[in-house]
């Protein structure tokens, strides 16, 4: 979280419904505060989308009331993937887009995140300005200046057509049998149509949202259902999206998982001629991805965990391709934010054009074994300046050389130090991770 921000995290405001800050009265005031900031910038139109959580109705109504009280016009998109809201914000020339979603979290959680008029995350300055208004009493504009609310009936169709344009018009998916897992989330009525309208034989699963089954034993964070379905239907591959559609994981015809790192490697290989010189991963990206990208002659950068930080480095370097192992894939020349459906289309384009299976395409990268250990601590440890810990890390790195790497980081949500070691041999990762974890435990 940026210094000075009380409510906004790296991906908006998120929490359990009914507990601060995700209460109706807070969200109403959040709508008003955002409306005041946008109005001060000379803007007066906001689009609002949501995922399929039952709490979305409550939060949407509260946001509406706050925005209208600030004099802002609203266009309601209904259940829509997060990247669709980013796209439609630009399409409608809106001053901001709002998504009511907690992404891959269980249904009890929800959140509110904002997009700028360019379809990107709000800058820190705007978030801080909104937080300043949250400390002030609500003042409703004069009646004749109140905002109005309209519903957009063709939002889904607009997004479907936009996604289809993410690959060349001559590319057809005829002959491909695909299982699409919609996580009972916001993609249920859009993403299967994208693939079927491009010619694929689509089997759709987890596409019957009831308000509480979002991400429940399905989607990008729970792949067993998709793995079973791909083999049951003898499909060529499976596509798993998360609750708000910005994350992608895949399954090949053998039922093997293809994660975000492997998806990045496949896209980079297929689009080597037009993605520029830079690819961005995170601190958690597998070493195999880094070696694969460098072997292509490209520069590989590691951002802090979070698609916000991936985007910052992409913008700074001019790169167009980046993402996380968890499946947040950003293809900047196609859309301004992470989009699971559009990332999947990039992979399907490679499958069609090369004639290779997803299983064969993922061989462009060799995944290094990883060992991750969590060390519980009682109080904060200065990892950078603890000589015992740094000596242990240097010893491990010296032993592995270029064959592996070590990552130590404090958890942002729990009193834990995460010790991660990657190397060519699993036995070596286990040995070195255990050695470093013991040193951290002693330091704690």
Q: pLDDT, tens digit, for every residue of 118-156?
A: 988 888 899 999 999 999 999 999 999 999 999 999 999
Cα 70 to Cα 98: distance, rounded to the nearest angstrom: 15
Residue ranges, comma separated, of all CATH 3.30.310.50 domains in the chain are 370-443
Closest to 54 measured CA to CA, from 187, 191, 214, 181: 214
Show which residues are catalytic: 103
Mean pLDDT for 324-329 is 96
**Sheet of 257-258, strands arranged across:** 201-205, 177-181, 237-241, 248-252, 257-258
What pLDDT digit, counting tens, does each position of 402-423 carry? 899 999 988 766 789 999 999 9
Cα 113 to Cα 93: distance, rounded to the nearest angstrom: 18
Report the CATH architecture of 13-153.
3-Layer(aba) Sandwich (3.40)
- Give the pLDDT score at 412: 67
- Does residue 81 surpass a pLDDT of 70? yes
Instruction: Using CB atoms within 10 Å of the CB of residue 306, give its burial: 0 to 12 exposed, 13 to 18 middle, 19+ buried.
Output: middle
Cα 84 to Cα 116: distance, rounded to the nearest angstrom: 13
Closest to 246 measured CA to CA, from 310, 199, 293: 310
What pLDDT digit, counting tens, does each position of 243-301 carry? 999 999 999 999 999 999 999 999 999 999 999 999 999 999 999 999 999 999 999 99
Lowest mean pLDDT, pick from 13-22, 237-246, 408-417: 408-417
Mean pLDDT for 199-205 is 98
Q: Are 15 and 109 in contact (CB under 8 A)?
A: yes
Fold for the domain defined by 159-364 = Alpha-D-Glucose-1,6-Bisphosphate; Chain A, domain 3 (3.40.120)
Alpha helices in 135-208 (DSSP H): 155-164, 191-197
Global pTM reads: 0.93
Cα dihedral sign for 15, 21, 26, 30?
A: negative
1: confidence class by pLDDT, cuts 50, 70, 90: very low
Q: Are 281 and 306 in contact (CB under 8 A)?
A: no
Length of the chain counted residue by residue: 444
Residue ranges, comma separated, of all CATH 3.40.120.10 domains in the chain are 13-153, 159-364
Tell me the CATH number for domain 370-443: 3.30.310.50
- Does residue 391 surpass a pLDDT of 90? yes
Which residue do the tokens 């060992």 mark?
Answer: 371
């Amino acid at each position: 979280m940026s210094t000075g921000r009380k409510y906004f995290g790296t991906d908006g405001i998120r929490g359990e419904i009914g507990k601060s800050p995700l209460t109706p009265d807070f969200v109403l005031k959040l709508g008003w505060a955002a409306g005041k900031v946008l109005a001060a910038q000379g803007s007066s139109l906001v689009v609002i989308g949501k995922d399929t959580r039952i709490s979305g109705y409550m939060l949407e109504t509260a946001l509406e009331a706050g925005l209208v009280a600030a004099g802002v016009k609203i266009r309601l998109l209904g259940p829509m993937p997060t990247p669709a809201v980013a796209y439609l914000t630009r399409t409608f020339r809106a001053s901001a887009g709002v998504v009511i979603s907690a992404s891959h979290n269980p249904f009890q959680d929800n959140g509110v995140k904002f997009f700028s008029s360019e379809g990107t995350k709000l800058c820190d300055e705007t978030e801080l300005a909104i937080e300043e208004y949250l400390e002030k009493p609500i003042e409703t504009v004069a009646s004749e200046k109140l905002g109005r609310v309209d519903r957009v009936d063709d939002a889904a169709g607009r997004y479907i057509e936009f996604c289809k344009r993410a690959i060349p018009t001559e590319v057809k998916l005829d002959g491909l049998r695909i299982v699409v897992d919609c996580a009972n989330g916001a993609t249920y009525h859009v993403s299967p149509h994208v693939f079927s309208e491009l010619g694929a034989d689509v089997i759709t699963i987890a596409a019957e949202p009831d308000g509480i089954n979002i991400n429940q034993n399905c989607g990008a964070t729970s792949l067993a259902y998709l793995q079973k379905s791909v083999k049951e239907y003898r499909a060529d591959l499976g596509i798993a999206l998360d609750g708000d559609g910005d994350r992608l994981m895949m399954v090949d015809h053998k039922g093997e998982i293809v994660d975000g790192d492997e998806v990045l490697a496949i896209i980079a290989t297929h689009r080597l001629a037009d993605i520029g010189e830079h690819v961005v991963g995170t601190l958690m990206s597998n070493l195999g991805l880094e070696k694969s990208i460098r072997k292509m002659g490209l520069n590989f950068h590691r951002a802090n965990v979070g698609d916000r930080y991936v985007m910052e480095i992409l913008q700074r370097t001019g790169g167009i391709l980046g993402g996380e192992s968890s499946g947040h894939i950003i293809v900047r020349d196609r859309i301004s934010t992470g989009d699971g459906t559009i990332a999947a289309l990039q992979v399907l384009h490679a499958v069609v054009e090369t004639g290779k299976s997803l299983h064969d395409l993922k061989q462009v990268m060799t995944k290094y074994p990883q060992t991750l250990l969590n060390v519980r601590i009682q109080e904060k440890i200065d990892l950078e300046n603890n000589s015992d810990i740094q000596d242990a890390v240097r010893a491990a790195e010296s032993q592995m050389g270029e064959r592996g790497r070590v990552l130590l980081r404090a958890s942002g949500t729990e009193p834990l130090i995460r010790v991660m070691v990657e190397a060519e041999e699993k036995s070596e990762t286990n040995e070195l991770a255990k050695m470093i974890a013991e040193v951290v435990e002693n330091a704690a």
